[in-house]
Amino acid sequence: MDELPQLRFSNFAEWQAADRALLDARWALGEQMTRTLGGEGWSGYCPLCRQPTIFAVPSVAAGHAPNLREELHCRHCGTNSRCRAGMQLADEAVGGGNARVYATEAASPNFVWLQKRFPGAIGSEFEPDEEKRKPLTQYLVDLGGKGEVQFEDVTRLSFADASRDLVVSFDVLEHVPDYRQALREFARVLAPGGALVLTAPFVQDFEHTLVRARLAGDGTVEHLEPAEFHGDPLGDGVLCFYHFGWDLTDAAREAGFASAAMVLPWAPAYGLFSNLWTLVARR
């Protein structure tokens, strides 16, 4: 798989010193795409499928502007732009199919690809009720995956220390009230040299993370911003606690990672445009 074109920034100061002309040009092209992209989608090449494809934009067919982060689904593997970029970065981070992989999701096209690329990959969903997980397992099988969906709490993972080579997490961390503990758990289960590849809502102009909600001492939710809910495989909206800023890289290093950077991929031929910020941290 070809290396994904990308920019890397370890902190807010590096981001402030970035080539603004280049970034502005890319942003402008992304904006033009949202205005002109038609319902037929975008022709390109999927590096996960390793074949030409059409990247679908269902919102356009419904009369809305496309979301270049959440859409551009490959018609073959079904992955969207955000996850496709993340999985290519994950593949680059470990460089082979023998890596011991844990994904904080299982009922998705993303995990189906991970299973094919990394035999033995483990995925989970945050659902302790075995009966409620059965429809998720069936959904995984319907997508072409295999095995049963298991339960994991990312703040208390069941894996032994240093037992994983790669952890991937796509838009999960913002739903975890104690996200710092989740980062510590990711670091704990990774072997030396192992990698974390993670996406979450990230605001490039925020030096500090915006806390949208938090848990009070009695366990109730205190909203500091208007409540924001994201979709999930179980069908119910999940509360978003954070929009992350550049201190996310600091939090990763404090959690035990030797290095951490926000990576900005850019590859129109792969259906990858603006705002695909991804945390890549190395144990």
- Residue 86 sits in a domain whose CATH number is 3.40.50.150
Question: For the chain, how many structural domains are there in total?
Answer: 1
Q: Which residues make Cβ contacts (< 8 Å) with residue 160, sequence separation at least 6?
A: 189
What tokens does 62 get? 């419904």
Residue entry with tokens 């999701």: 105
Separation CA 257–CA 246 (nearest Å): 16
Q: Is residue 222 one of the residues assigned to a domain?
A: yes
Q: Is residue 40 one of the residues assigned to a domain?
A: yes
- pTM for this one? 0.95
Residue 6: CB atoms within 10 A of its CB come to 19
What sign for the dihedral angle of Cα 77, 9, 170, 224?
A: negative
Q: Is residue 1 one of the residues assigned to a domain?
A: no
Q: Is residue 272 one of the residues assigned to a domain?
A: yes
Q: How far is CA 131 from CA 109, 111, 122, 125, in A?
A: 22, 21, 19, 13
Separation of first and last alpha carbons in the chain? 23
DSSP-derived secondary structure for 154-169 = TTS--SPTT-EEEEEE
The DSSP code for 199 is E
Strand order in the sheet with 6-9: 6-9, 259-265, 278-282, 190-199, 164-170, 101-103, 122-125, 150-151
- For 185, the domain range is 6-282
Is residue 2 pLDDT above 90, yes or no? no
**What confidence tens digit (pLDDT) does each residue in 210-225 have?**
999 999 989 999 999 9
Q: Is residue 220 one of the residues assigned to a domain?
A: yes
Instruction: Tell me how long the chain is.
Output: 283
CB burial string 200-225: b at 16+ within 10 A, e below:
bbbeeeeeebeebbeeeeeeeeeeee
Mean pLDDT of 85-112: 93
**What confidence tens digit (pLDDT) does each residue in 44-79 have?**
999 999 999 999 999 988 888 899 999 999 999 999
Q: Are 194 and 165 in contact (CB under 8 A)?
A: yes
**What confidence tens digit (pLDDT) does each residue in 23-39 have?**
999 999 999 988 888 88
One-letter amino acid at 36 equals: T
Question: What are the start-end ranges of the H helices in the chain?
Answer: 12-16, 20-36, 58-61, 81-94, 109-117, 130-142, 179-189, 247-254
CA 60 to chain centre: 23
Q: Is residue 271 one of the residues assigned to a domain?
A: yes
Mean pLDDT of 192-208: 97
Q: Is residue 86 one of the residues assigned to a domain?
A: yes
Is residue 236 pLDDT above 80, yes or no? no
Separation CA 4–CA 6 (nearest Å): 6
